[in-house]
Amino acid sequence: MTTGATERTHPRERLLDTAGRLFYAQGIQAVGVEQLVTEAGVTRATFYRHFASKDGLVAAYLEARGAGVADAVAAILAAHRGRDALLALMDMIGDTLCRPGFRGCGFLNAAAEYPDPAHPVRVRIAEHRRWFHGVLRTVAGDAGHPDPERAARTLVLLRDGAMVGGSLDDPRTIRATLREAAENLLTA
């Protein structure tokens, strides 16, 4: 049975929304197609009309997560330049850690479940990471860092650590430490 909200959204959107919620909360491998179609209020045939496989849905889920990050980054870069932009990006990451229900980075979580670097899901993860690294390299250069490539590598590592630490430790402390580390990197 469908609800009014279910009837108003496209089945593909419902599948993506359901996948996003379930994959993030339970883990990708723990969620089966049957659970996805049941909770999305669609049939198996509808599922396979929109996604060739569960892995296809996983890739689309990661693409949607990446688009959300890209939108947030674009908003920051439209409002800030140089050092302020870099610190605003770190604050964005820190704010993410403090959200209710935070369970780590969806990309890092997915990477842990897909160990083969040649798998299409891991390829999507690698593309997202390259994009974010490039953003950080550009922003670090604009902030006047003498070695933007090294700064970007360090910032990605800090981000990854913050994402893990934020799900295991006090996220506010991790947020403050991330900001402090980014400030130190800029002044070093």
CB 81 within 8 A of CB 54: no
Q: Domain check: are 33 and 61 in the same one? A: no
Domain with 105 in it: 53-187
Q: Domain check: are 88 and 135 in the same one? A: yes
pLDDT tens, 33-57? 999 999 999 999 999 999 999 999 9
Q: Domain check: are 46 and 77 in the same one? A: no
pLDDT tens, 130-163? 999 999 999 999 999 999 999 999 999 999 999 9
Q: Among residues 87, 86, 102, which one has the least CA distance to residue 170?
A: 102
CB 86 within 8 A of CB 95: no
Domains: count for the chain: 2
With 50 as the cut, is the pLDDT of residue 27 above it? yes
CATH number of the structural domain spanning residue 30: 1.10.10.60
Q: Among residues 132, 85, 86, 136, which one has the least CA distance to residue 108?
A: 132
Q: Domain check: are 32 and 58 in the same one? A: no
Q: What is the reported pLDDT for 9?
A: 82
Q: What's the CA dihedral at 119, 64, 85, 105 to 10 degrees?
A: -60
Q: Domain check: are 65 and 77 in the same one? A: yes
Q: Domain check: are 94 and 130 in the same one? A: yes
Q: Domain check: are 90 and 150 in the same one? A: yes
Q: Domain check: are 24 and 57 in the same one? A: no
Q: Domain check: are 73 and 45 in the same one? A: no
Q: Domain check: are 75 and 132 in the same one? A: yes
Q: What is the reported pLDDT for 4?
A: 46
Q: Domain check: are 179 and 163 in the same one? A: yes
Distance, in Å, from the CA atom of 138 to the CA atom of 142, rounded to the nearest integer, reads 6
Q: Domain check: are 106 and 92 in the same one? A: yes
Distance, in Å, from the CA atom of 53 to the CA atom of 20, rounded to the nearest integer, reads 16
